[in-house]
Structure 1
């Protein structure tokens, strides 16, 4: 049984805790929050016995062996470093780290501590529907491009309009649409098509100095992939992967609740449907099998692949921000 500790007590942490419980492979034991009252409330609600408001004491504890990091984006790097140095496996919410320098340092630390496993929680690529897309894509005679859209209005934008700067829209905490919903579309593209040759980003900046929405263009040798994402507007536009006369249609590039293949005659074939389950269960199961059986050849192959994908996605996110001249607090311009 994997003993899980968590950093962060927001809605996504709640969803992850519920998911790991449903797998039957984790025991939720420990909560860290800057405020002990908050940690205690979350622990009591979810059945954890240990609470901390001191990060050093948290990581020194033997009450957990794997940590789920769901703090503001800019805090991931230092917390992941501390986890590695204390021998804790890491599951870090996307985006894992802010730039290539941070990612390189984490990879170096992981190489020095091979007993520690690292996962970026990009849930979309672990789902059965995504695997259905991968299988069908391999059957297409020609791939001629794709467009992925993931746009959901954030209630936190109401706070921006009221003159506040919530973390998800703050350059201090590595916020913005690209760093949130955009990550899912980048993961879609890189997992399905590999690394692009060139990238460009056209953001719509908001008052806080980050991107509220944007369009990214990933250029491949024979086609382009367009990514559209927004936290300041909604979209019900489908996402599509193009063959010649046929295509694969996704209802949503982030959640991927329904997938169809449309043949050259316009006939639809359903490839995948949402089963209504917690969408974080597949990634929790994938991470658990690697943690529980680290010497299994297929598990190690999958782990190396996910770790490389994380490095690739980090590079693309950084390059897109550089192209759009978006910098976070503390970064050189």
Structure 2
């Protein structure tokens, strides 16, 4: 089994650890948190053997070979860099990094440490339902664009309304809608259609200075792809990929629980309705295959694809932020 260390003890880390237990491919051994009691409580709950409050000690002395990073966005780069320098495989929550410069440094480190594997935890592209979309898209005779929507009201926005600045809505921690739910829609677009020729972002800024919601327009040679995402409103709109008279309908651009093909005569066919016991299980199993089978050609081709896709997504998100003049604390430095 792959020995796993984690950074961060929030709800998404717990969901990842639960997926790890279901996969039976990883063994959680090490927990890092800034707070000793928090680390010990999480470790006791999930069967980890050791805890750390010092990041250097965690990477130097921790009995793990792969680390899952689920800290605030602005901390991802430094922690991933330390992991690679200590020959640890890296699974980093989306968005992996905030700038293209950070991404370039990580890619250079990976090239210099070829035995290390790096994954961005964009769970939607690893699901059976997403693969069903890919397959059906390849069968469409004509493609005329798409609209992807992912909007879920965040309880943290209540704190913003009360005058506070939680991490997910803070420019200090690289927060905002694009840097959160928006990442799923960007992955949908880039994985299915590639990089656009032009891209523009129209955000709705909130009091803290980041985007609470927004719309991005990606221009391709023959069509546009529109991304709608929000952390300050809810939406029950479906997402759609347009053929000529036919289309692919997706219940949710982030969760992707149901995919329907609607033909020219309005007949509906369910092509994807797999609901995993844990939504992070497919990515956990995919990452484990790559780590466990370093000489398997298909697994390594998959890895190379995910790594390149992460670079493209990082570039597009950064360009969208620049288009909307959204910057984070310390970014220019």
* Residue 329 of structure 1 pairs with residue 321 of structure 2: no
Deviation at 1:276, TM superposition (A): 4.6
Rounded Cα–Cα distance in structure 2 between residues aligned with 1:315 and 1:156 = 27
TM-score (normalizing by structure 1):
0.99
Larger mean Cα displacement after TM superposition, 55-64 or 68-77: 55-64
User: 2:257 — aligned with what?
Assistant: 257
User: 2:99 — aligned with what?
Assistant: 99
User: 2:316 — aligned with what?
Assistant: 316
The within-5 A match list for 1:212-231 is 212-231=212-231
**What SS class does the counterpart of residue 115 from structure 1 fall into?**
coil
Deviation at 1:330, TM superposition (A): 1.1
Rounded Cα–Cα distance in structure 1 between residues aligned with 2:37 and 2:244 = 58
User: 1:128 — aligned with what?
Assistant: 128
**What SS class does the counterpart of residue 309 from structure 1 fall into?**
helix
State the 4+ residue runs in structure 1 displaced beyond 4 angstroms: none
Task: Give a deviation string over 1:185-220, Cα, whole Å, max 9, x none.
Answer: 000000000010010000000000000000000100
The within-5 A match list for 1:89-238 is 89-238=89-238
Change (3 A) 1:213 1:132: same
Task: Give a deviation string over 1:89-128, Cα, whole Å, max 9, x none.
Answer: 0000000000000000000010000011000000000000
**What SS class does the counterpart of residue 136 from structure 1 fall into?**
helix
Rounded Cα–Cα distance in structure 1 between residues aligned with 2:294 and 2:318 = 31
**What SS class does the counterpart of residue 172 from structure 1 fall into?**
helix
**What SS class does the counterpart of residue 154 from structure 1 fall into?**
coil
Deviation at 1:10, TM superposition (A): 0.5
* Residue 278 of structure 1 pairs with residue 278 of structure 2: yes
Aligned-residue CA RMSD (Å)? 0.8
Query: CA contact under 8 A between 2:214 and 2:229: conserved in structure 1?
Result: yes
Deviation at 1:237, TM superposition (A): 0.2
Query: CA contact under 8 A between 2:153 and 2:232: conserved in structure 1?
Result: yes
Query: CA contact under 8 A between 2:216 and 2:227: conserved in structure 1?
Result: yes
User: 1:12 — aligned with what?
Assistant: 12
Unmatched 5+ residue regions in structure 1?
Answer: none
TM-score (normalizing by structure 2):
0.99
Rounded Cα–Cα distance in structure 2 between residues aligned with 1:205 and 1:257 = 30
Deviation at 1:277, TM superposition (A): 1.2
Deviation at 1:274, TM superposition (A): 3.8
Deviation at 1:8, TM superposition (A): 0.4
Query: CA contact under 8 A between 2:186 and 2:313: conserved in structure 1?
Result: yes
User: 2:68 — aligned with what?
Assistant: 68
Deviation at 1:331, TM superposition (A): 2.0
User: 2:304 — aligned with what?
Assistant: 304
Deviation at 1:62, TM superposition (A): 4.4
Deviation at 1:61, TM superposition (A): 2.0
Rounded Cα–Cα distance in structure 2 between residues aligned with 1:305 and 1:176 = 27
Task: Give a deviation string over 1:16-57, Cα, whole Å, max 9, x none.
Answer: 000011011110111000001000000111111110000000
Change (3 A) 1:276 1:126: closer
